[in-house]
Structure 1
Amino acid sequence: MTPLPSGNSKILGLHFLYIYQSKGSFMKAFVYLIAIIFAAGSVVSVYSEDTIPALNQQIEQKREEMHQDTNQIHEKTKEMVKARHQLNQDRKEFGKDSDQVQAGRENLKKLKEERKQMKMERKGDHREIRKMRQERRGMRK
C-alpha cells in the first residue's frame, strides 16, 4: 500500500486538481504545475546543515584577510609619512625645484596610489562579506 502524500506533495496535488478543473486540460494543468514548482524553487533556498558553518568559516577567513590588509595599509601610511617628512627636509635643504625633491614627489605619488589601490581592494572584500552575510541570513529564514 502506498502512503498518502503529505506536506508539499499534497499541496502540489491539490494545486494540480484545481488548475485541471479550471483549465479543463491535463496538459495546461501540468505546465502550470511545473511553472509553480520552478517559481517556488527559485524563491526558496534549501537549508543545508553544512552550508551555514561553511559560510561562517568563509566570512571569518575574509575578515582575517581584511585585518591583514588593514595592517598593510597602516604600514603604507607610515611609509607615506616618512616620505612626506623627507620631502619637506629636501625642500628646505635643496630648494623646491631640485632633482631630489622631484624624486621625492614621485615617490610620494607612487605610495599614495598604492595605498589607494589597497583601500579599494579592502572595500571590495567588505562587499563580499556583506553578500555572504546576506546569503546566510536568507538561509536561516
Structure 2
Amino acid sequence: MKLTNDQIEEAAYIFEKENGHPGDDYTKRILAESELTVFSSKELEKIIVDGFDKGFYNNSDTKTSAYWALSKRFNHDLIPFFNRRLKSELEAKNSAAVYQLLIALGNMGVPVFNKDREGGSAIYETELNLRDAKEYLKRVNKV
C-alpha cells in the first residue's frame, strides 16, 4: 500500500496521539477525517517502511515526510532502518532527508550531531549535517 503525502501526515498524527500528544484543533480535524485510523500504529509503521522497500517513496519531499512521520513513533527498533536510509540519503546528498533522519535518530537519544551543535537548529546547516551524518555512520560502521 502506497500512502499519499496527506496520509503520511495523518500517520504522523496517529503516532503522536498514541504517544500522548492529542494535538491542536487542526490535528484533531485531520484525525477525525482520516481513513487510516483503522490501522494500528504498528501496521502504519510497517506500511511506510514497506513503501520504502518497494520504492514507493522516491522523491525528496515524500521521503522526508515519511521519515518525519516514522520519527513520531519513537520506536527504537527503527534505528537500523534509519541507519540504512541515512547511508542511502547521504550517498544521494539528499540534505533534507539526511537532516530529518538525523533528527529522528537524535530524538531517540542516538548521538548523531557533533557535540558542538544542537540538532534542532541545524536545518539550514546542510554541509554540517552531511558531515555529522558521515561521522555518525563511520562510528556505527555503516559507511
Q: Is this a same-fold pair by TM over 0.5?
A: no
Bigger Rg, which one: 1
- Normalising by structure 2, we get a TM-score of 0.26
Tell me which of the two structures has the higher relative contact order, counting C-alpha pairs closer than 8 angstroms and 6 or more residues apart: 1
